[in-house]
Amino acid sequence: MSRFREELKVIPRAVRIIVAFVLLGLSSAFTLFLIFSHDPELIHTPRFGKLLMIVGVGIVPAIWLLLIGYVYADAKRRGMRYVMWTLLAIFIPNAIGIILYFILRDPLMKPCPGCAQVLKSGYTFCPHCGTSLLPTCPHCGRSVELGWANCPQCGTRLPSPAPRTT
């Protein structure tokens, strides 16, 4: 739950305010519609049912807007093409753009232990200060994984545990 809350904080405040207004606007518009409607079916709907309809009418658009706000901010912090992803999330119907985003998004960026610049994942060396970001083979310099006994590229025996990066 706290993880979920952390993720909600990623959504820009402007989007959250817009969502609140959309919810409020749709619910009050629907309330007015219920008050002035002469539809016989609606008149016989129990009060509780009407209340559910008033609350529910804004939920789907609100969640959709929140997800688009999330895609925008999350793609930005991950160093992805956030304008493209936001447009895909908005214009591909049935939320397929949003689902694709969650499947294809890049891992979160991490700060370099040497210079604290925020970097995309997958780099072996920091492009700013040259600090090694992954354990590397002392002989050939290719990246190796923690726990490997030998370098898969040149066969050199690796010190155990494999050399740490920091």
| Interacting residues with Zn ion (CB under 5 A) | 112, 114-115, 126, 128-129, 131, 137, 139-140, 151, 153-154, 156
Q: What is the dihedral of CA 139, 140, 146, 150, to 10 degrees?
A: -70
- Judging by beta carbons within 10 Å of its beta carbon (0-12, 13-18, 19+), is residue 145 exposed, middle or buried? exposed
Minimum CB distance to Zn ion, residue 166 (Å): 11
Minimum CB distance to Zn ion, residue 113 (Å): 8
Whose Cβ is closer to Zn ion: residue 86's or residue 132's? 132
Whose Cβ is closer to Zn ion: residue 19's or residue 151's? 151
Minimum CB distance to Zn ion, residue 77 (Å): 19
CB 19 within 8 A of CB 68: no
Whose Cβ is closer to Zn ion: residue 99's or residue 115's? 115
Show the tokens assigned to 17: 């305010």
Whose Cβ is closer to Zn ion: residue 56's or residue 141's? 141
Minimum CB distance to Zn ion, residue 154 (Å): 3
Long-range contacts of 105-108 (CB under 8 A, 24+ apart): 105/74, 105/75, 105/78, 105/80, 106/78, 106/79, 106/80, 107/78, 108/77, 108/78
* Helical ranges in 37-95 per DSSP H: 40-43, 47-56, 59-77, 82-91
Whose Cβ is closer to Zn ion: residue 45's or residue 124's? 124
Minimum CB distance to Zn ion, residue 153 (Å): 5
